[in-house]
């Protein structure tokens, strides 16, 4: 699969390493420009390339968004039209500025992102686990019930299946939290956020 990654911080870098190790091609971008990604791309090897955000969006069959949420309006909406977008962002008012619709619980950050990226197939994923755990704790050879859970929410069932398959490939167990409206369960401050749970524990937590 061709995967674009917009954001080269902790989660962007971790997912890039995992996807390249799993045999995928990656184009990664950040806000500072491709020239600043030389070290990371050299580390990742021949399956990786540095890109602008527009190029990464255009490159990927699936595109991971791993930027501070407050910058979501800067994303290249035209190039993301029709793409599966893995939303790994988190809203933090102190960093991103207050967004009243999120502060009041009127909507979720992923719903807001989806409204900006009209036509994209948004899936909330990779936002609850610390990057070090994500990068080191995958167990591709273990049964699903012995793996740590990665939570997945989406309105598009097909996009959710593709992302869930990718989660399994890199060694985690996808656990379905519902629609984008339900993705509040994955947001900072919710019990699932930062909780390293194996699949049965995660499913039990969702039922409680």
Tokens 């339900």 sit on residue: 182
pLDDT at 40: 96
> Tokens representing 12?
């962007």
Q: What is the mean pLDDT of residues 54-65?
A: 98
What pLDDT digit, counting tens, does each position of 147-170 carry?
999 999 999 999 999 999 999 999
Looking at the chain, which runs of residues are DSSP E strands?
2-6, 25-29, 48-50, 62-65, 84-87, 121-124, 149-154, 173-178
Spell out the domain ranges in the chain.
2-207
User: Could you tell me what percent of the chain has a pLDDT over 70?
Assistant: 100
Share of the chain above pLDDT 90, in %: 99
- How far the first Cα of the chain sits from its last, in Å, is 36
Q: What CATH number should be reported for the domain whose range is 2-207?
A: 3.40.50.720
| pLDDT at position 202 | 97
Please state, rounded to an integer, the average pLDDT across all residues of the chain: 97
What is the three-class DSSP state of 26?
strand
pLDDT tens track for 32-54: 999 999 999 999 999 999 999 99
CB 206 within 8 A of CB 175: yes
SS (H, E, C) 125-159: CCCCCCHHHHHHCCCCCCCHHHCEEEEEEECCHHH
**pLDDT given at position 120:** 98
| pLDDT the model gives residue 208 | 81
Cβ atoms of residues 28 and 12 within 8 Å: yes
Q: Strands 121-124 and 149-154: what pairing?
A: antiparallel
Give the Cα separation of 195 and 197 in Å (integer). Answer: 6
**With 90 as the cut, is the pLDDT of residue 60 above it?**
yes
pLDDT digits (tens, 9 = 90+) for 82-135: 999 999 999 999 999 999 999 999 999 999 999 999 999 999 999 999 999 999
pLDDT at 194 over 90: yes
Calpha distance 2→101 (Å, rounded) = 34
């Amino acid at each position: 699969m061709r995967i674009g990654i917009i954001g080269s911080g902790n989660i962007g870098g971790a997912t890039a390493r995992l996807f390249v190790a799993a045999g995928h091609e990656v184009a990664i971008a950040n806000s500072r420009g491709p020239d600043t990604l030389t070290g990371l791309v050299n580390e990742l090897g021949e399956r990786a390339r540095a890109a602008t955000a527009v190029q990464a969006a255009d490159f990927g069959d699936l595109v991971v968004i791993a930027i501070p949420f407050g910058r979501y309006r800067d994303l290249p909406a035209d190039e993301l039209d029709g793409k599966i977008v893995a939303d790994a962002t988190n809203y933090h008012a102190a960093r991103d500025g207050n967004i009243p619709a999120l502060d009041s619980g009127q909507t979720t950050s992923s719903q807001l992102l989806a409204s900006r990226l009209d036509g994209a197939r948004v899936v909330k994923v990779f936002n609850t686990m610390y990057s070090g755990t994500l990068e080191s704790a995958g167990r591709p050879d273990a049964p699903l019930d012995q793996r740590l859970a990665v939570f997945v929410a989406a309105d598009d069932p097909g996009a959710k299946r593709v992302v869930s398959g990718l989660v399994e490939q890199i060694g985690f167990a996808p656990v379905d939290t519902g629609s984008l409206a339900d993705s509040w369960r994955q947001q900072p401050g919710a019990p699932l956020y930062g909780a390293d749970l194996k699949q049965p524990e995660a499913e039990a937590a969702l039922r409680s």
